[in-house]
Structures are given as structure tokens and as C-alpha cells.
Amino acid sequence: MKKILLVNLLMAGVVSYAQTYCIPAFASGCSGGDQIDSFIIPSVGFTHQGTGCSTDAYGDFTSMTINLNAGLNYDFFVTHAFSNQNVRVWIDFNNDGTFDDADPELVASGTSTNVNGDNVTQSTIIIPATVTPGTYRMRIGDRYSSQPIPCNLLGYGEAHDYTVIIGAAPSCLAPSGVTAAAITPNSAQLSWTASTTTPGNGYEYYYSTSNTSPTATTAASGASSTLSANLSSLTAATVYYVWVRSVCSATDKSAWSQQATFTTACGIMNVPYVQNFESVTVPALPLCTEVVNDGSGNEWETYNYNDYGFTGKTLRYSYNYSNAADTWFFTPGINLTGGTSYRIKYKYANSSGTTVYPEKLKVAYGVSATSADMTNPLADHPDIVVSTATSNFVDFTPTTTGVYYFGFNAYSDANMNQLYVDDIKVEVTPTCSEPTLVTASNITTAGAAVSWTAATPVPAGGYDIYYSTTNTAPTSTSTPNFAGITGTTYSIPSLASNTTYYVWVRSVCSTSDKSAWSEHSTFTTLCSTTNLPYIVDFENATVPNLPGCTEDVNAGSGNNWETDFEPSSVPGFSGNVLRYGYDYIDPADAWFFTQGLNLTAGVQYTISYKYGNNSTSYTEKLKVAFGTSKDASAMTNPIADYPSINDKTLHEESLTFTVPATGIYYIGFNAYSDANQDNLYLDDINVTNANLAVSEVAQKKNELTIYPNPFTDVLNISDGKKVKSVLVTDVAGRLLKTIDNPSSELHLGDLKQGLYFVTLNMQDGSKQTIKAIKK
Ligand SMILES: [Ca+2]
Ligand SMILES: [Ca+2]
Ligand SMILES: [Ca+2]
Ligand SMILES: [Ca+2]
């Protein structure tokens, strides 16, 4: 009997390992972005990034192992390439080949949210303490709009399978069921269910306004010997996140529990009061704020607005066709002290691209959230036409201590457009104010002049400047690039060409008193010229925009060149292309200009490109030329002319040319098709030094080498007998030396330091050019 039982157990082990699991089938696939792209469990260092959409929307990754423990919770992240995704995770704990879509095998579920423009599902895998340690199969399913099921058949989505090894539960387990009750504006009472590993030293809790989970080393906010704790001194109308852990002994604490969350009640706020509208679900208002309509136009609402200097969500007034605006947005009441100077800051703007519809905004404060009590005007902006966010701040001093409300009044005329307000902040006026209106001018390929409006009071220690290629604001501890600048302008040197920069300025009132950083200014340095080889394949272009450092000029009244995705109607093009699309009325006269190329007189260059049209019944026309400026009238050196492109076929062209004088040249591609034709395509523009291009191919066949490289005086040829003559040219293409019937040693001690091209003309008629560096 015992033997049979043992055999059965062994069999069970073998069978569980060889289970056949259903393969999920998402009928609509995941190629539209409904996918598990990256899957990350940070606390155990598991990352499976950039997986994309697997074939048939299912990835068998059971060769990858994830190590987890019974009785612990694991935060995880999944990224997607489309919104509105639902994720579930299952583990086949009983090894029966089936994932139950319920406890205990359903270990996590979550829904994606938009995090800084990315679609991310953030949730927690919960491994029950009762799970037997062992090896199991884990499945993660993702589905658009609906919940995935383990053996999915329908919808958009993807699933991955992994192997998970569950270790034994730790000796000290976290409590469960954390909740908050008795919530007031400034307090809440936490309670939880006792840990099953009864902790001898009670519990610790941690709370934060950020939903980032604490780690083992995070200091607790407080401790409790019971199953509850009172939180006080909280901020009204604020979302809090809380975790609790068991303290089993002085040296044995559990992991943190599952996160719980609560929102404090409305109440009177204290400074600093910040309202960035990010907490809302548009078009709803933030907690404890209020909108009043005193007129017959529309009302303020919130709106997703991620451009023109705004990030995330804003307050917005959208026009009414017939009636003028008269709507107020009110903050909660804020405690202010009489005689103290306060500052209110905010951003505002008109709608994008519409300067013909001016908007109107007033800001005031008073003792209640009514327009009648808005008796203390702070600012009036009666003619807002700028679409980029403008920052403003006003200092004010209430005469009596009390509770005050701040009102933003949209009073635009009827039938205007949109008015935006964001980043409202009320604070005690800082002793050191930041400068305003930071702008950049005199932008070159390698620098820019930054100017600003002086702060009041003017800082005794001048200004600090911080710049970066990323739009992440510096903090008070960031090291400035330039410190203690006097005056209100500074030329930043040594920047990279064709690069976008962000720059901030702050005041230095004293070594211990520096202002906040200003709002940033942004600028892009100009394109420099380039050496060969020069390649444009349009793959990095953001369709329909042109690649950086190229330009289109419309010399007629038809359409313009733009980039487009791979044209399916013409075989042979791959990836993005440049396209001229017909205009019904007007013929084409559109130019596409390359970046400026440094070319040398007397050197033969090769230009190659692909072109074609998408029709046999319409005809396109293309000219290629070069000149010394990005201007149709400067394109005086013709390279090619195709007046009848109508075979719906890809053509590959390769031509040589020379330039009349050493200098900077632009190559122009001129679409000059008649009106009402179809599409003309261009791709893979490639300009090279003709000699070099040929010889670099030859090099692979002959495989002669020169050494040492870099060299000092003598350069050796690996097989000198094969070489008939040697030519040494510089990077500009100038011939410096000709050595006939060389030995294997070339004596080049008289060359200056630098890069040279050594051309080996072989006995068999082939040739090879090798770059060599003289030290
Ligand atoms: Ca995937
Ligand atoms: Ca099962
Ligand atoms: Ca915002
Ligand atoms: Ca391309």
C-alpha cells in the first residue's frame, strides 16, 4: 500500500511537469498594441522587456523562471502599446493543467492607466501563505476592454506563460485587510487583520501621498501594538496610500502588506496649496473645489492637455456660440495670516493656433466661494492670445487672519475658443524670487543666448543657469551649469547641433537663499553641415514630418513633399519614404533639400536614390540638382531629370558628379508633376565619395591590410607583391603621394598628423583604399 502511494506521488510529479495547457487565442490578435510588452516584478529583479506582440498573440516563455515566496505580495508592471487593457495572472497551484479563473489560482488582476503618455498596468501578485513550495506554471493574460480568461478565444490581447518557483513562506507574515475609517479632513483610523504569524512586537505602518510601495529599509511612519492606528496631521482632500507590516521580533519584520488607499475629507487647507488638476478624471473637478456659473455661457471643466507648455490635465473654459463666459473656479478655503505676504502662481493660455479668438481671465480672492465675495482682485488678463502656457505670479497681503478662497473667472466673449489654467499654487512669498520670461535667441549650430526678466528683488548673488536635453526640471540640489551670472542674459557655448535644449534660471539671493527654478525655455540648435557618407532613408522621420536637418520648399502652388509610411502599391520600397501627393488644381513645384554637404572640387561623388510612382495612368516628374543654398533658384547644377515616371515600378539610380568649387552644397529633389496626377515616391538618398565607395567593396575581396594603424613613420603592407602602386590622399581628396612598385614598407614620415586614405592599386587591376591615421 505504501509503495503504491509513493508511486502515485511520483507519477503525480511527472504528470504535473508534462501538463498540456490550453493555448489562449485572441481572435483579433495584438498587433494593434493590445499586448504585454514589458512585464516587470521589481522586488525580485524580474524583467522581460520589449517583448512586443508574439506570433498568434501567445508567448511560451516557460524557459524563464520567476522566484517568488508563499505569503508575500509582489507589485508588478505591464506596459502596453494601446489604452484600456486588462491584465490577469494565474498560477496552476494544483498542477492539474488548468488555470482556475478564481482564488487561489487567480493571483492578480489590474487595469491599465495612462502614466506620462504610456499605457501601464500596475498591480500586485498575491501568493497565498498556504501554497506548497514547488515549481508551477504561471500565465499572464492581457485583453483590450474586457477581462482576459486563462483559455482566451476572443478579442484583442496577448498571453505569456512563465515558470514560477514558489519558495517557503517567511517566518513573519504581513497582516491583511488594511482599511481606513473615521476619515476627517486631517485624520483617519487604520485597522487591519492580524498576521497569522502572531507578531510579538506588534505592527508598523507607513503612509504616503505617493503610491510607490515602501521597501524593507523604508522607515515606518509609526508603530502599533494593536490592530489599529490613528493617523493625524493629514492634508485635507488628499489621496493617501498606506501599508502595514508585522514586527515578529526585533530582527524579524514581515514584508509590507498590500497597499490600501483613502482620501481625506474636504476642509480648510494650509499653504502651500497646489492644484495641478492631475488627480481628476476629466471633465470632473478636483476634490473640494467648486465651479459656479454666474452667466449663461459654459462652465469651467477639466481637460487632458499635453502640449504648449502644459502637461497632463488642466482647467479649461470652452466657448459658447451665443453667450459670453462668466464662470468661476474656486479653490477650497485656505488659512492665511493677516499681514503676511503670500504669492499665488498659475499658468494660463489661449487655445493652440488660434490668436484670432482672445480669451479673458480674472483672478481674485475673498472670504467665500462666491463671485460677490471675490473683493480682492489679483490679476486681470483681458486679451489672452498666446497659445503657449504663460506663467504669472502675484504677491498680496491679507489684512486680517482668516479663511480665504481664490477664484478664477473666465469672462471671454461669446464664440471665442478655449482658455486653459493650470498649476495653481498659493504659498508664503519666498524671500528669494525666481526670474521670469526666460527666452533663447541668437541660436546657432553650437550655442544660444538665454535672457530673462530680472527677479524682484534683484538677487545679490546673480543667477544660476541649468540646461539639459531632457525636459526634467532641476531641483534645489541640482548643480547649475553656470553659477552667479550677473545681468539678465548669458550665451551658452559648446552645444551640440540640431539638438533640443531646455533651460532654467534661478536667483541667488545669498549662498543659503536661492529661489525656485524659473519656468523653462526651450530651443533647438541649428543644423551643421555634414561630411560624407550622407544617407537619408526617412526611417527616423515622424510621418508626415521631414527628418531633422532637411527642408522642403514649395516653389509653386501645389502640395509639398512629406514623409509617408511604406507604399504598399509599389513593390520594392521598404519602410518610410518621401512622397509628393497630387493637388487637384495646381501642378507641383516642390523641393526637398538635403542637409548641407561638405564637398571638395575635383573629387568624384556618387549619389544614389530610389524613386517611383504608384500608377500607370498618371505621370509624375522629378528633377535632381545641387547648389549652394536651400533655394530653388540656387539649384543650378542638374544631376538628373525624369519627366515621365508612370510605370508603377521602383527605380534605383546611381550617378556620379563633381562640384565646381570646394564648399557646402545642398542636393535638391524637385517634384514638378502636372496637377491632378497621383503619388511620387523617393527613398534611400545616399551620397558618397565615388572612389571610396568602390574601393571599400574591393577591400573585402582582397583582404590586404596595412599596419600598424595608427602609424608613426612606417606603414607596412601585408602582401606588398600584389601591389602595383600606392596613392596617398587626404580627407579632402587631394593626392599627396604616388609610390610605384612599392616594397612592403611605406615611408611616410613626412606626412603631418591626421587621417589619410591609402589606395593600393593591385597587380590584378583591382584597387583598395584603407583609412590610416598618422600619429
Ligand atoms: Ca508580448
Ligand atoms: Ca489548476
Ligand atoms: Ca496639470
Ligand atoms: Ca525608407
Ligand nearest to the CA of 424: 3
Claim to verify: residue 246 and residue 159 sit in the same structural domain: no
Ligand nearest to the CA of 33: 1
Task: State the pLDDT confidence band at 733, using cuts at 50, 70 and 90.
Answer: low
271-322 pLDDT, tens digit per residue, is 999 999 998 888 999 989 999 999 999 999 999 998 888 888 999 999 999 9
Collect all residues with Cβ–Cβ distance below 8 Å to 258 and sequence separation of at least 6: 73, 124, 126, 174, 176, 178, 243
pLDDT recorded at residue 18: 61
Are the beta carbons of 630 and 586 closer than 8 angstroms? no
Collect all residues with Cβ–Cβ distance below 8 Å to 477 and sequence separation of at least 6: none
Query: Which CATH number goes with the domain that contains 541?
Result: 2.60.120.200
Spatial separation of the C-alpha atoms in residues 524 and 522, rounded to whole Å: 7
Q: Is residue 697 included in any domain, yes or no? A: no
3-state secondary structure of 12: helix
Which whole number is the average pLDDT over 681-693? 85
Query: Cα of 594 to ligand 4 centre, how many Å?
Result: 15
Query: Cα of 631 to ligand 4 centre, how many Å?
Result: 24
pLDDT recorded at residue 715: 87
Instruction: Identify the CA nearest to 216 among candidates 201, 224, 206.
Output: 206
Q: Is residue 208 included in any domain, yes or no? A: yes
Claim to verify: residue 59 and residue 124 sit in the same structural domain: yes
Claim to verify: residue 687 and residue 721 sit in the same structural domain: no
User: Which segment of 366-380, 530-544, 683-697, 732-746 scores lowest on mean pLDDT?
Assistant: 683-697
Query: Cα of 347 to ligand 3 centre, how many Å?
Result: 9
Query: Cα of 206 to ligand 2 centre, how many Å?
Result: 35
CA dihedral sign of residues 631, 635, 639, 640: positive
Claim to verify: residue 107 and residue 161 sit in the same structural domain: yes
User: Is pLDDT at 8 greater than 60 in this prediction?
Assistant: no
Which whole number is the average pLDDT over 128-134? 95
Claim to verify: residue 477 and residue 506 sit in the same structural domain: yes
Which whole number is the average pLDDT over 240-255? 95
Ligand nearest to the CA of 38: 1
User: Which segment of 12-26, 257-271, 370-384, 518-532 scores lowest on mean pLDDT?
Assistant: 12-26
Ligand nearest to the CA of 101: 2
Query: Cα of 37 to ligand 2 centre, how many Å?
Result: 26
pLDDT recorded at residue 248: 96
Ligand nearest to the CA of 34: 1
pLDDT recorded at residue 309: 84
Query: Cα of 214 to ligand 2 centre, how many Å?
Result: 32
Query: Cα of 54 to ligand 1 centre, how many Å?
Result: 5
User: Which segment of 282-291, 322-331, 389-398, 568-577 scores lowest on mean pLDDT?
Assistant: 568-577
Query: Cα of 56 to ligand 1 centre, how many Å?
Result: 10
Spatial separation of the C-alpha atoms in residues 670 and 667, rounded to whole Å: 10
DSSP line for 534-596: EEE-STT--TTSPPTT-EEEE-SSS---EEESPPTTSTT--S-EEEEE--SSS---EEEEPPP
Query: Cα of 523 to ligand 3 centre, how many Å?
Result: 22
19-36 pLDDT, tens digit per residue, is 789 999 999 999 989 999
Query: Cα of 20 to ligand 1 centre, how many Å?
Result: 21
Query: Cα of 118 to ligand 4 centre, how many Å?
Result: 27
Grid coordinates belonging to 115: 502614466
Query: Which CATH number goes with the domain that contains 106?
Result: 2.60.40.10
Q: What percent of the chain has pLDDT over 70?
A: 95
Q: Is residue 188 included in any domain, yes or no? A: yes
Query: Cα of 255 to ligand 4 centre, how many Å?
Result: 52
* Peptide bond just before 150 cis, omega within 30 deg: no
Claim to verify: residue 158 and residue 225 sit in the same structural domain: no
pLDDT recorded at residue 753: 82
Q: Is residue 268 included in any domain, yes or no? A: no
Q: Is residue 150 included in any domain, yes or no? A: yes
Q: Is residue 643 included in any domain, yes or no? A: yes
Mean residue pLDDT across the chain? 91
Domain hosting residue 225, numbered range? 176-263
Please tell me the pTM assigned to this model: 0.60
Ligand nearest to the CA of 16: 2
Are the beta carbons of 112 and 143 closer than 8 angstroms? no
Query: Cα of 567 to ligand 4 centre, how many Å?
Result: 10
pLDDT recorded at residue 696: 45
610-661 pLDDT, tens digit per residue, is 999 999 999 999 999 999 999 999 999 999 999 999 999 999 999 999 999 9
Claim to verify: residue 86 and residue 231 sit in the same structural domain: no
Claim to verify: residue 69 and residue 205 sit in the same structural domain: no
Query: Cα of 424 to ligand 2 centre, how many Å?
Result: 53
Which whole number is the average pLDDT over 537-544? 90
pLDDT recorded at residue 6: 40
User: Is pLDDT at 703 greater than 70 in this prediction?
Assistant: no
Query: Cα of 311 to ligand 3 centre, how many Å?
Result: 5
Q: How many domains does the chain have?
A: 6
Query: Cα of 105 to ligand 2 centre, how many Å?
Result: 7
CA dihedral sign of residues 209, 214, 220, 224: positive
Instruction: Give the residue from 139, 167, 195 where a domain finishes.
Output: 167
pLDDT recorded at residue 486: 93
Q: Is residue 416 included in any domain, yes or no? A: yes
Claim to verify: residue 104 and residue 42 sit in the same structural domain: yes
Ligand nearest to the CA of 99: 2
Ligand nearest to the CA of 538: 4
Instruction: Give the residue from 113, 146, 167 where a domain finishes.
Output: 167
Query: Cα of 217 to ligand 4 centre, how many Å?
Result: 51
Ion ligand 3: residues, CB < 5 A? 276-277, 312-313, 422
Query: Cα of 101 to ligand 2 centre, how many Å?
Result: 9
435-488 pLDDT, tens digit per residue, is 998 999 999 989 999 999 999 889 999 999 999 999 888 999 999 999 999 999
Query: Cα of 587 to ligand 4 centre, how many Å?
Result: 25
Q: Is residue 696 included in any domain, yes or no? A: no
Query: Cα of 24 to ligand 1 centre, how many Å?
Result: 13
User: Is pLDDT at 15 greater than 50 in this prediction?
Assistant: no
Instruction: Give the residue from 240, 263, 286 where a domain finishes.
Output: 263
Claim to verify: residue 584 and residue 656 sit in the same structural domain: yes
Claim to verify: residue 465 and residue 599 sit in the same structural domain: no
Claim to verify: residue 631 and residue 686 sit in the same structural domain: yes
Query: Cα of 537 to ligand 1 centre, how many Å?
Result: 28
Ligand nearest to the CA of 102: 2
Instruction: Identify the CA nearest to 321 among candidates 297, 300, 301.
Output: 297
